[in-house]
Amino acid sequence: MKAEKDCCAGRALGAGGCGRVAFERVDVAYHGRLAVRGVSLAVAPGRTLALVGPSGSGKSSLLFCVNRLIDLVDGATVAGRVTLDQRDVRSPEVDLLDLRRRVGMVFQRPTPFPFSIRRNLELPLQERGIAARSERADRLRAALVAVGLWDEVADRLERPATALSGGQQQRLCLARALVLEPEVLLLDEPCSALDPLAAAVVEESLAALKGRVTTLLVTHSLAQARRLADDVALLWHDGSAGTLAELQPTADFLGSPKSALARAFVAGAGR
């Protein structure tokens, strides 16, 4: 805990922090209807937190708060504080583009841009002002290697990204998020739209990243949470909104859930 504090001390958002994410009494509402209520939790740098819970319990809503993609959702309002390295991501001095470059995201469905594999990775780098060709090439390669895609596409980087298989597309999207060397990675059910084989490969890439970047993973699979996450947060819709029902290290959550809800969830999902 101490090391974490030192790492973040005195760093301004945008100066390259270490990726501590915290929610403080966060409410999310859509068109005035509460979807998430009073969620407080923190993810230490480099840790992976799995957000689990039934559909509609607000897992993705929380995720979208971190990179403020929630701003793009019609009628969405957020209350409370969401911080990255102790700075409120919604404070007016936060540069939104910079925030989103520090917080990478992978969606449920692969979202490659409709151009070549190379361009998919180079565009974010160019946009970030990395003009040196050699640096871009290095980063592109590193990102593709990190997701295990380099060997598969090294000789066809000019091919359209949309021609890749679903699993490859998803790994390309992961590489696109990684190419900017983010401090935080948001994964919104990254394997759920893929066939089991492709999902396994994507998960392997995610496992290889573990510890390198703070990760928030929304998943419906407790098995995946067990394999990837350090901690598990269970969100539950209590009838009026999604709330945090339990937060524990993964092994404890799965082995000895504290609340009755978590016990039921683990038992139900494990069946």
Partner 1 sequence: MRELATGRDVRGRIVAVAAWGGAALVVASFGLLVADLARRGAGELTWRYLIEAPRDAGRAGGILPIAVATVWMVALALAFAAPLALATALFLDEAGTPSAPRALRRAAAVTRRSLDVLGGVPSIVFGLFGNALFCRSFGWGYSLLSGAATLACMVLPLMVATFDEGLQRVPAAERAAAAATGLSRSATLRHVLLPRAAPLLLAGTGLAVARSLAETAALLFTAGYADGWPRSPLDSARSLSVHVWDLALNVAGGDARACAAALLLLLVVLALHGAVRGGLGWVLRRRSRGHGESVR
The least CB distance from residue 245 to partner 1, in Å, is 28
For residue 94, the tally of other CB atoms under 10 A from its CB is 17
By CB under 8 A, name the one of 158, 204, 238, 252 that touches partner 1: 158
Binding mask 161-180 for partner 1 (x = CB under 8 A): -xx---------x--xx--x
Residue 175: which of 115, 236, 111 has the closest Cα?
111
By CB under 8 A, name the one of 127, 138, 204, 252 that touches partner 1: 127
Cα of first residue to Cα of last residue in the chain, in angstroms, is: 36
The least CB distance from residue 38 to partner 1, in Å, is 24
- Are 226 and 44 in contact by the 8 Å Cβ rule? The answer is no
Inter-CA distances, 158 with 116, 121, 155, 234, 254, Å: 5, 11, 8, 42, 45
Number of amino acids touching partner 1 (CB under 8 A): 40
Question: How do beta strands 242-249 and 231-237 pair?
Answer: antiparallel
The least CB distance from residue 182 to partner 1, in Å, is 9
The least CB distance from residue 44 to partner 1, in Å, is 23
Residue 28: which of 237, 207, 264, 211 has the closest Cα?
237
By CB under 8 A, name the one of 9, 15, 56, 71 that touches partner 1: 71
By CB under 8 A, name the one of 48, 57, 60, 67 that touches partner 1: 67
Interaction between residue 111 and partner 1 (CB under 8 A): yes
Which secondary-structure segment (H or E) carries 89?
none
- Are 106 and 169 in contact by the 8 Å Cβ rule? The answer is no
Closer residue to partner 1 in complex, CB, 162/192: 162
Which secondary-structure segment (H or E) carries 216?
strand 214-218
- Token pair 């470059």: residue: 101
By CB under 8 A, name the one of 20, 90, 100, 171 that touches partner 1: 100
Interaction between residue 107 and partner 1 (CB under 8 A): yes
The least CB distance from residue 19 to partner 1, in Å, is 15
Q: List contacts with partner 1 (CB under 8 A).
A: 67, 69, 71-76, 97-101, 104-105, 107, 109, 111, 113-116, 118-119, 123-124, 127-128, 155-156, 158-160, 162-163, 173, 176-177, 180, 186
